[in-house]
Amino acid sequence: MGERLKLVVPASTSNLGAGFDTFGLALTLYNTFEIEESNAFEVEVYGEGADNLPTDINNLFLRTYIRACQELGVEDRPIRVVQKNGIPLGRGLGSSATAILGGILTAAELNGLKLSPKEVLEIAFVFESHPDNLVPALVGGFTISATEEGSKEVYFERLEFPEELQILVLIPEFEILTEEARAVLPAMVSLKDAVFNIQRASLLVAALVRKDFDLLRVAVEDKLHQPFRGKLLHGFEPFKEEAYKMGADAVFISGSGSTIGVFTRKNADEIGRFGVEMYKKMGIPARYEILEADKEGARWAKI
Q: Give the residue among 158, 67, 53, 58 at the shortest CA–CA distance from 106.
A: 67
Can you give the pLDDT at residue 181? 67
Q: Has this prediction a pTM greater than 0.75?
A: yes
CATH architecture designation of domain 166-291: 2-Layer Sandwich (3.30)
Q: What value does the mean pLDDT take over residues 133-144?
A: 98
Q: Which fold has domain 5-160+294-301?
A: Ribosomal Protein S5; domain 2 (3.30.230)
The helix/strand/coil state of 149 is coil
Split at pLDDT 50, 70, 90, the class of 303 is confident
**Cα distance between residue 133 and residue 3, in whole Å:** 30
- Do residues 129 and 224 make contact, with C-beta atoms less than 8 angstroms apart? no
Q: Where are the domains of the chain?
A: 5-160+294-301, 166-291
**Cα distance between residue 1 and residue 36, in whole Å:** 7
Split at pLDDT 50, 70, 90, the class of 1 is very low
**Cα distance between residue 302 and residue 101, in whole Å:** 18
The helix/strand/coil state of 113 is coil
Tens of pLDDT, residues 165-210:
999 999 999 877 777 767 888 888 999 999 999 999 999 999 999 9
Q: What is the DSSP string of 156-211?
A: EEEEPPPTT-EEEEEEES----HHHHHHTS-S---HHHHHHHHHHHHHHHHHHHHT
Tens of pLDDT, residues 118-127:
999 999 998 8
